[in-house]
């Protein structure tokens, strides 16, 4: 990993310049030729200052985040980052923030020094939306993920939502909000938002969206509409997943082909990933190794958690993944792939698999931080590497427009080919 020079341990930091540039204060500089440039005649308004109460809360939140990283991050060397220098540079910016959006942008810039996709600070508004994910609430109808350029990429568009009606497409990026909205702020029912999206060819699309209250999407969906095929769509590794999957598998015959769809799945609970694996792999099988901050390695073994299913399901299995399958949605297909238990279909995952825990921050926000390293049972470190599918099948924008799921079609075709090559079961 490349750490910016001023944050490499032992190097001095030009504090004032770093703070000014990172804070956006030095947006433009007058040209200088051998002498000081003449001061501009136009008055420059001073940036707004936070209230005393805001400044105190900013300080409490920043200090909690900084200290949690120092004391609890899985790598005690912090990937070579000079964390004291980071505090010197970013703390004044955090204290000067006048709202949550500015504060959490500063926190995420600092956490970005770790080059770790799980190291993220979520504002109180984002935290509340996350906690209300399965409740009725105002929505735009898009699933967003931050990219490396600081924008937000549209990963999913909910059918019938305000975004869907307005024509927002997967792959667009949220560039700016004309009324100052960002994902760090609240959504209010009926309050229109003027947003600028950048589409797949770089054109700016000005779209007005009005949040509308909608019912929550179910976390797990079973689709048996195709003869001889059961598709299990998993939105996240949430409580009850293992029990739900066990009940669905118990309802079908051993000849039914099963597809587990983990596309755009952000991950979730490690115990539910273990429960899903117990639906298909033998009890007590070692499927990964996690290494704690102390350096102690722990073998991760499968424990029964697939509902009332007493033995692994015998069904042929395919798993769908894509570039938005993260964390537990990468660990699970990787283990099934290594055991030779499933054919993995789709697009390569991003490699965001470190084992993280959440910490509640003083203002109600949340810090996600990696607490353990992870390798597969065969010693493969998936972080930054991701899971490579056995069969590459990516959905094009045209496929999405006409409602065709080429990846699912490829998964079903692979299972049927596998069954035909295996031949009929022997008669006893």
pLDDT of residue 424: 54
Phi-psi bin for 201: left (phi > 0), alpha (psi -120 to 50), beta?
A: alpha
Q: What pLDDT sits at residue 148?
A: 63
Banded pLDDT at 46 (limits 50, 70, 90): low
For residues 43-52, give the mean pLDDT: 73
Q: Please work out, in degrees rounded to the nearest 5, the angle formed at the alpha carbon of residue 144 by the alpha carbons of 141 and 145.
A: 165
> Per residue in 104-127, pLDDT tens?
999 999 999 999 989 999 999 999
Q: Which residue has the higher pLDDT, 305 or 397?
A: 305
Q: Which DSSP category does 113 fall into? A: G
Give per-residue pLDDT as tens, 283-328: 999 999 999 999 999 999 999 999 989 899 999 999 999 998 999 9
Residue 295 near residue 311 (C-beta atoms within 8 A) = no
Helix, strand or coil for residue 368? strand
Phi, psi of 177 (to 5 degrees): -115, 120
For 214, half-sphere exposure in the C-beta direction (CA atoms, 13 angstrom radius) is 18
Residue 340 has pLDDT above 60, yes or no: yes
Q: With cut-offs at 50, 70 and 90, classify the pLDDT of residue 151.
A: confident
DSSP 344: E
- C-beta of residue 328 within 8 angstroms of C-beta of residue 273: yes
Q: Average pLDDT for residues 89-115, to the nearest whole number? A: 96
The C-alpha atoms of residue 276 and residue 240 are separated, in whole angstroms, by 10
Beta bridge partners of 260: 232, 319
Query: Which of 369, 133, 137, 318 has its CA nearest to residue 238?
Result: 133
Question: Does the predicted model carry a pTM greater than 0.85?
Answer: no
Average pLDDT over residues 243-249: 97
Supply the pLDDT for residue 180.
60
């Amino acid at each position: 990993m490349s750490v910016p020079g001023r944050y490499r341990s032992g190097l001095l930091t030009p504090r004032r310049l770093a703070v000014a540039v990172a804070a956006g204060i030095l947006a433009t500089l007058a040209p200088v030729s051998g002498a000081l440039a003449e001061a501009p005649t136009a008055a420059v308004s001073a940036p707004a200052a936070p209230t005393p109460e805001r400044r105190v809360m900013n300080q409490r939140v920043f200090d909690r985040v900084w200290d949690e990283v120092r004391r609890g991050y899985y790598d005690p060397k912090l990937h070579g980052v000079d964390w004291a220098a980071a505090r010197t540079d970013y703390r004044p910016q955090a204290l000067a923030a006048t709202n949550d959006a500015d504060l959490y942008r500063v926190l995420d810039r600092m956490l970005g020094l770790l080059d770790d996709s799980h190291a993220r600070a979520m504002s109180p508004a984002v935290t509340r939306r996350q906690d209300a994910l399965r409740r009725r609430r105002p929505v735009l109808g898009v699933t967003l993920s931050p990219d490396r350029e600081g924008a937000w990429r549209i990963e999913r568009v909910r059918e019938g939502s305000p975004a869907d009606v307005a024509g927002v497409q997967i792959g667009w990026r949220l560039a700016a909000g004309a009324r100052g909205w960002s994902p760090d702020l609240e959504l209010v029912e009926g309050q229109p938002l003027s947003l600028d999206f950048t589409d797949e060819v770089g054109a700016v699309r000005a779209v007005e969206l009005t949040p509308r209250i909608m019912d929550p999407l179910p976390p797990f969906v079973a689709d048996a509409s195709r003869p001889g095929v059961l598709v299990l769509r998993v939105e996240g590794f949430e409580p009850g997943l293992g029990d739900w999957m066990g009940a669905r598998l118990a309802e079908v015959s051993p000849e039914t082909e099963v597809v587990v769809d983990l596309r755009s799945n952000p991950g979730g609970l490690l115990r539910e990933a273990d429960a899903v694996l117990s639906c298909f792999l033998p009890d007590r099988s070692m499927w990964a190794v996690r290494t704690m901050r102390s350096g102690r390695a722990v073998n991760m073994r499968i424990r029964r958690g697939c509902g009332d299913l007493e033995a692994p399901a015998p069904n042929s299995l395919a798993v769908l993944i894509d570039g938005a399958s993260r964390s537990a949605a990468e660990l699970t297909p990787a283990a099934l792939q290594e055991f030779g238990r499933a054919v993995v279909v789709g697009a390569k995952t991003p490699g965001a698999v470190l084992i993280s825990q959440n910490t509640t921050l003083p203002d109600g926000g949340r810090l996600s931080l990696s607490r353990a390293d992870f390798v597969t049972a065969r010693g493969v470190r998936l972080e930054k590497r991701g899971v490579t599918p056995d069969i590459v099948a990516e959905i094009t924008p045209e496929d999405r427009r006409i409602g065709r799921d080429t990846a699912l079609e490829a998964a079903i075709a692979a299972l049927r080919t596998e069954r035909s090559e295996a031949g009929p079961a022997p008669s006893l």
